[in-house]
Structure 1
């Protein structure tokens, strides 16, 4: 009997943990934390493990809070789409009140953690939550420009790590911001292309032309090229302490060419498979690019 009760409790906690991961979008949050840590290593003169912990913990809380607020706001729309109808709120596994409590607690705890690092880091974290929940989320059903607005909070993490390490904002974190800012357009438009039919059920306008056509694919190509150019700007020695060796710049540019290949393939074929390949290539690019930047600094 005791074993059955223990098993039931274990299963209950597993379900609660699973819903927590879902409401905070754990995989996305971890990828954001990874970007922040990369930015921290680029900006830090000396590595502080306490600072890394506060940045990672606070960063997860910030992203988790944004996603929880987002799912509260979009609960009725989420119920209409196949990819989101099984989320905790529309499925009925979590109440709106519980989700709001999670979002508010994560916001407070996250801001406090980032403030302990320095006030600028907390400020940018707060700006990110505000833009994501109060501007980007409502605009998703109004205009494709929502992706442009959403690119601002989405570009903050890479920059945030530098600010956390230095308590300064200048050309270096600004460059990191611009790299991730332009990267988001091909990434999210590829995702929007794949899920266009489902997004339309919820009334979301995610593609720049509103259609899966050559106009959208052409804009993806253009933003990919801008991303490639900005990603290697530090090699020219005009971005302060943010430096990049010639070898690293060539490697990053080559990775960008790989992503551009998939963008051009999407322009040529205009199908979901090509969009998926581009989306996967974009995730690979942003991860490896950040790794190359960090490794290049320390070798």
Structure 2
């Protein structure tokens, strides 16, 4: 009997944990935390592990809260799409009230953790949640411009780490913001291309022209070029304390060109397989670029 009870408890806990990870989008949240910590390493004069832990915890809470609010708001639309119909709320595994409670608790914990680091850090975190849930989410069914709005909270994490380390906002975190801001367009439009049919079932307008056409791919190429240009700007000495050596800039440039090649391949082939390759290339780019920046600072 005790063994059976223990098994049930473990099974119930595993189910709750799995739903928590899904409603907070754990992989996305971890990638955001990674960006924030990279920004912290770039801005810090001296590494403080207590600050890094607070940033990681607060960052995860803020992203998790945004995703939970988003899934509460879009629960009926999620039920219409194959990729989202098994999420905790539309599948019936989690009630709306439980999801809202989770989102509110994560918001409070996240803001408190980031406020301990600095009021500016908490302010940017709060702005991120507000824009994502109150502006980006409702706009997704109204206009493709939603992606531009969503790119703002999506670009905050990289700069947030710098602000957490310095309690200051200037050209350095502004540059980090712009890198991640322009990166998001080819990334999300490649994703939108792959999932266009499914998104349309939910009424989402994710592609800039509303279609998988030449105009969409040309914008993907244009924003990829801008991303590359801004990513190597620190090598020219225009960005304050944010420096990049010539070898590091060459590496970042080459990685950007690889991503651009995938964008041109999408222009040529116009298929979901190529769009997926571009999306994966964009994920590799943003991660490796941040690693290169951090390594370059410390060597």
TM-score strictly above 0.5: yes
1:185-224 map, 5 Å = 185-224=185-224
1:255 and 2:238 aligned: no
Q: Report the alpha carbon displacement of residue 2 of structure 1 after superposing the two structures with TM.
A: 1.2
Matching residue of 1:35: 35
> Which structure 2 segments of 5+ residues have no match?
none
Q: How does 1:53-68 map to 2 (within 5 A)?
A: 53-68=53-68
Q: Which residue number corresponds to residue 168 of structure 2?
A: 168
Q: CA deviation at 1:4?
A: 1.2
Structure 2: distance between partners of 1:113 and 1:215: 43
* Counterpart secondary structure, 1:230: helix
Deviations 1:2-45 (Å, cap 9, x if unpaired)? Answer: 11111111011000000000000000000000000000000000
Separation in structure 2 between the aligned mates of residue 293 and residue 197 of structure 1, nearest angstrom: 37
**Cα deviations by residue, 1:47-100 (Å, 9 ceiling, x for unpaired):** 001100000000000000000000000000000000000000000000000000
Question: Normalised by the size of structure 2, how large is the TM-score?
Answer: 1.00
CA distance in 1, matches of 2:149, 2:46: 34
Q: Aligned residue for 2:18?
A: 18
Deviation sequence 1:203-231 (CA, Å, 0-9, x none)? 00000000001110110000000000000
- Inter-partner Cα distance in structure 2 for 1:260 and 1:98: 43
Q: Cα RMSD between the aligned structures?
A: 0.3
Question: Residue 265 of structure 1 aligns with which residue?
Answer: 265
In the alignment, does 2:3 pair up with 1:6? no
Q: Which residue of 1 aligns with 2:95?
A: 95
Aligned residues: 299
Under a length normalisation based on structure 1, what TM-score does the superposition of the two structures give?
A: 1.00
Q: Distance in 2 between matches of 1:68 and 1:251?
A: 37
Q: Aligned residue for 2:241? A: 241
SS across alignment from 1:232 = helix
Runs of 4+ in 1 over 6 A off after TM superposition: none
Structure 1 segments unaligned to the other structure (5+ residues) = none
Instruction: Name the SS for the 1:205 alignment partner.
Output: coil
